[in-house]
Structure 1
Amino acid sequence: MDRLDKKFINTIVVGGGQAGLATGYYLKRNGIDFVILDESESPGEVWSRRWDSLTLFTPSQYNGLPGYPFPSKRGTFPNKSEVANYLTQYVKRFTLPVRFGKKVIKVIPDTKYAFEVITNEDSFFCDNLVVATGSNQRPNFPGFKQLINPSVFSIHSSQYKNPSMVPPGDVLVVGAGSSGVQIAIDLAKTHKVFLSGKPTFKIPDFVFKYLGPVYWWFINNFINIKTPLGRKAKKSVLAGGAPLINVSMDDVHAAGVTHLSRVAGVDDSRLKFEDGSLRTFNSLVWATGFKPDFSWINMKQEFENGWPKTTRGVSTDVEGLFFVGMLFQFGLTSAILGGVGRDAKYICNQILERNQGLFTSSPQRKRTF
């Protein structure tokens, strides 16, 4: 197969969620020829699969992607259906070239172009590759999970939908971050619920109610990798999760949920807690977050704690490889709806600069599909 027979395009974006769509907005605005590949069948499908009562942790006015403010009323916290609908509208509004049902299986170097992107159906070739698969890639479990009695009902928070799917009896939600707290309160409507773990920091409600614009400006401009405060915050976020917003441990107690210390392991089929107590439960919901999975990138890309080594999303090892939507990629808001646009714009500018160099050394390559 010679070059003209290959499906070539200047830039490929892997992932059609918020990070990929924000990147697509800037690529299209700057006249860069690109396509977005996504394994889902429709925009927002990932959001539609989350638990039924899920709401965003930030008010609607801070949830807009570039060029299109979130349409819900200011001060409200959108639910998962509103987010899914918003992403669908976003694709249509800007006629973004998203190819759904394209699961990227592997990316390898190419001798003529920079990358070959192999999907479940075919292959594509490109000079620039943007990985926008987000921060929620693979469910994370503690190592001792495999020692728990298999008769205990056990699911990750990404599998949870509503209380009806959980068998009767005592339920332990492991992990007291935002997701764990929301799920525990939801389950308490029908079950006796326990929540284990140290809660993440709670941002007081009055901050968003009365100081919202100032607070948003502050975390966008100061809580990033360029400031000492931001670098300290990054370590905390990567280790313990995002702060509690619009929900608190007071809400947990009001719902009748019992708060327990952190789960430390398993002792004779019983869960062992840091305070030394031993307990058994009928069901477990693991709100223990996610871990990155870039195993499909078959190139000399270095990783640290599972995350690629980059300079603000630009690979330090592979020329033409970029990332958008990673946890704390540049700042606290890098992985959320209202903050991902800043990183997407930066990466687009890097692609523009790279293309100028490519087009200077050789004629501009045209897409072949």
Structure 2
Amino acid sequence: MTTTPLSGDPASTEYVDTVVIGAGQAGLSAGYHLARNGRDFVLLDANRRIGDNWRCHWDSLRLYSPARYDGLPGMAFPAPEYSFPGKDDVADYLEDYAARFALPVRGSTHVRQLSKDNDHYVIECSGEDGTSTRLVAHNVVVATGTFGRTPAVPEFACELDPAIRQLHSSGYRNPVQLRDGPVLVVGASHSGGDIALEVGGTHPTILCGRDTGQIPMRLESRRMRLLLPVLWFAAGHIMSLRTPIGRKLREEERNHGAPFLRVTRQDLAALGVERVTDRMTGVDGGLPVLGDGRVVDVTNVLWCTGFRQSYNWIDLPVIGADGWPLEERGAVPSMPGLYFTGLAFQSSFRSMLVGGAGADARTVVEHLVAHRRPERVDAIARPST
């Protein structure tokens, strides 16, 4: 990579052809394809260590796709092909991937603002030590995650009795964190089901939320193993933006929870987890209230309510009223040189899976290479003042 700090500019200004924001599976895949195309680029990530965005999940989390389908471009996942890697396995794989391809990742770098000056993008960053850095780039690829990292918790959560232990799924690690007594798990998609099953082994547990369905067979079953090639094909070619069913499914997946993937309703019932299809609607006397008016006396509430997109650091008119970027297959038509990758259902159902990151990143980089010629850093105009 070639970057050149220029004297006389605001603190530590650097000029680079392409900046990738985020070094998870989507950002690293973009970096791989940029490197193969000979582009000068840098990846910025807020974490100290590559893969920490996976290490922070709950201890028992495993992928819902087998290792055979979990590799990024140029490197298979190093595990038995029909095993389901754990979150630390994924984190270590990402770290090894970046090292293998010598991808230029800068950790502990928080992007505070992305703006535009004439034909170039300005990225304002800060480090853990409080130092500020400005990067000026010809292209920017935003790869900050599928659903953002701002926990989506209802406003009435603050009205719960302070004695109730509240955790969002992003802060949950294992049942040891919980107080003695009953648990209410709010949100019944695949993460809510997984966590409810785990805490149901040690605590009386209620799982509330809309029934999002469940897959018809076990992920680890022999029948599923036989079906996986067909399902993987369907996920990429039938459940895609090229088909009416895919376009309809994108709206569903982006706005509602996904079905149970590893846990079943029968699993929960066998463990004694109470399944309530009403949502939590409010608080009465410091206790949760469900949709039928029932007040539940619990000592813990686990919010498995997903995340909100958080793009308030992007100072550009590229976010729609629904909170999603105004992109087409990752490219932003109104802002040449600005791209997104790693979005939920960016091109197909595969986009949400680790193994789908590479294809979307390749599409983005192909567009970038075709439409934005590389610039020498000394040819990039300085930002106007």
Q: Shorter-chain-normalised TM-score: which range?
A: over 0.9
- Report the Cα offset of residue 106 of structure 1: 0.7
Distance 2:262 2:161 in 1: 35
Aligned twin of 2:166? 154
Query: Are the structure 2 counterparts of residues 241 and 304 from structure 1 closer, same or farther at C-alpha, using a change threshold of 3 Å?
Result: same
- Report the Cα offset of residue 184 of structure 1: 1.1
1:322 aligned onto 2:339: yes
Distance 1:189 1:246 in 2: 16
Secondary structure of residue in 1 paired with 2:109: coil
Secondary structure of residue in 2 paired with 1:342: helix
Distance 2:73 2:213 in 1: 28
The within-5 A match list for 1:266-345 is 266-345=283-362
Secondary structure of residue in 2 paired with 1:47: helix
Distance 1:162 1:49 in 2: 12
Question: How big is each residue's C-alpha offset from its partner over 1:334-363, in whole Å with a ceiling of 9 and x where there is no partner?
Answer: 13201111110010011102223xx6xxx6
- Report the Cα offset of residue 364 of structure 1: 4.1
Match of 2:258 among 242, 245, 261: 242
Secondary structure of residue in 1 paired with 2:350: coil
Aligned twin of 1:75? 82
Secondary structure of residue in 2 paired with 1:182: helix
Percent of paired sites with the same residue? 36
Match of 1:42 among 39, 43, 49: 49
Distance 1:52 1:364 in 2: 45
Distance 2:268 2:354 in 1: 26
Aligned alpha-carbon RMSD (Å): 1.9
Match of 2:236 among 220, 225, 249: 220
1:18 aligned onto 2:25: yes
1:139 aligned onto 2:151: yes
Query: Structure 2, unaligned stretches of length 5 or more?
Result: 8-12, 127-131, 381-385
Match of 1:127 among 138, 141, 152: 138
The within-5 A match list for 1:85-96 is 85-96=92-103
Distance 1:187 1:366 in 2: 57
TM-score (norm: length of structure 2)? 0.89
Query: Structure 1, unaligned stretches of length 5 or more?
Result: none
TM-score (norm: length of structure 1)? 0.93
Distance 2:334 2:160 in 1: 41
Letter in structure 2 aligned against 1:115: Y
Distance 1:322 1:103 in 2: 19
1:172 aligned onto 2:179: no
Query: Are the structure 2 counterparts of residues 170 and 29 from structure 1 closer, same or farther at C-alpha, using a change threshold of 3 Å?
Result: same
- Contact 1:8 1:367 (C-alpha < 8 Å) held by counterparts: no
Distance 2:111 2:204 in 1: 42
Aligned twin of 2:124? 118
Letter in structure 1 aligned against 2:56: R
1:209 aligned onto 2:225: yes
- Report the Cα offset of residue 149 of structure 1: 2.2
Aligned twin of 1:260? 276
Aligned twin of 2:383? none
